[in-house]
Amino acid sequence: MDNANINEIGATAFIIAGIRALEDARDEPMFSDPYAGLFLNDELRERARQLTEVHFAVGDAIRLRTVAFNTVVENSIRQGVRQVVTLGSGFDMRHAIFATGGVQFFDVDQEAVLKFKASILAGKGIEGCKAICCNYLEADLPDELIRAGLDPDQETLVIWEGNTMYLPSELIMGFLNRLCDRLSRFRIGFDYFPRSVLDGTYESAEAVEIVRGVQKVMNATFLTGFDSLEAFETEAPFRVVDAGNIIEIGIRLGGPGTERLLGKTAFLTKELAASYWIALLERRRGD
Ligand SMILES: C[S@@+](CC[C@H](N)C(=O)[O-])C[C@H]1O[C@@H](n2cnc3c(N)ncnc32)[C@H](O)[C@@H]1O
């Protein structure tokens, strides 16, 4: 199986895996993803390297995002969550990295991506998790998840990493409301850009340029950003549980030592740091 059927949005998953694959070779890694390299070839590794060259902080932003979502997954499992859904999972391997008895992981992505992932894992004798192949904006995702074994009334963590920027904005609230209609207890974590960074009106021209450079290497256009999280509470039944710019939340969730490992990225201007965010929402009970 080769990756020829994977479209441009699917292909972005390789580049992110390429950044994760660099981590274990560092003297002091922030995290370990021993699987990321399995999905790569030399050309894809080169694309990941190009991404780190857009600006010194770009690779670190993705490292911090990995650490932040790792912590959310680990903390949730520690607190008793037994269902983890990864939307637009790409080559995320948290189901293997954080495998814990009784915890079910569900990957959701386009068929070509998940088929390629499954073929690589099968070739190495590594078990995948439950795979739901669909465009999650079009499918009846709750129905697909329930058919795959998800209990809609049990606490669920949804990881939505590296996705929101690729989606048409007008479809997002409808999609989230459909999830809320059927899943009564869940939290969802996602990363996002302020809309102003994408439309070029953001206060830092440097940040706007960096994010343009990222889109060029990713060969994809970032369509959607959020200047505020208010709509998630007014147009959908969520409560914002946590939110922070990538440096603040990454260092906070990464824990002691994370800041030192970032070197000069830790001293980014406030404007640059605030050009990329992570948020965690909880479905409000009873709404
Ligand atoms: C940048 S990659 C991120 C992959 C992974 N979450 C990570 O952080 O490594 C985006 C992934 O989301 C998937 N994706 C984007 N929109 C999607 C949609 N509407 N339905 C299914 N998958 C989608 C793409 O196919 C791709 O694998």
What are 147-156's pLDDT values in tens digits?
A: 999 999 999 9
- Pocket residues: Cβ below 6 A from ligand 1: 9-10, 12-13, 16, 88-92, 109-110, 113, 135-137, 161-163, 166
Q: How confident is the model at residue 185 (pLDDT cuts 50, 70, 90)?
A: very high
Cβ–Cβ contacts within 10 Å for residue 143, how many? 12
Cα 256 to averaged position of ligand 1 atoms, centre (Å):
30
Domain 8-283 coded CATH 3.40.50.150: yes
Q: How confident is the model at residue 3 (pLDDT cuts 50, 70, 90)?
A: confident
Residue 170: which of 223, 220, 133 has the closest Cα? 223
Token representation of residue 11: 């292909």
What are 169-178's pLDDT values in tens digits?
A: 999 999 999 9
What are 48-104's pLDDT values in tens digits?
A: 999 999 999 999 999 999 999 999 999 999 999 999 999 999 999 999 999 999 999
What are 99-123's pLDDT values in tens digits?
A: 999 999 999 999 999 999 999 999 9
Residue 90: which of 50, 118, 64, 70 has the closest Cα? 118
Q: Are 21 and 41 within 8 A, CB to CB?
A: no
At residue 253's C-alpha, the angle toward residues 194 and 241, to 5°, is 60
244 vs 126, 139, 247, CA distance in Å?
Answer: 35, 31, 8
Report the SS3 class of residue 188: strand
CA atoms within 13 Å, Cβ hemisphere of 27: 3
Per the prediction, the chain carries an average pLDDT of: 97
Q: Nearest residue CA, atom 23 of ligand 1? A: 88
Q: Ligand 1 atom closest to Cα of 66? A: 8
Distance CA 284, CA 186 (A): 9
Residue 236 DSSP label: S
Contacts of 2 (CB under 8 A, 6+ apart): 116
Distance CA 42, CA 15 (A): 11
Beta-strand pair 186-192/156-160 = parallel
Render the burial of 179-195: b for 16+ CB within 10 Å, e for the rest: bbebbeebbbbbbbbbb
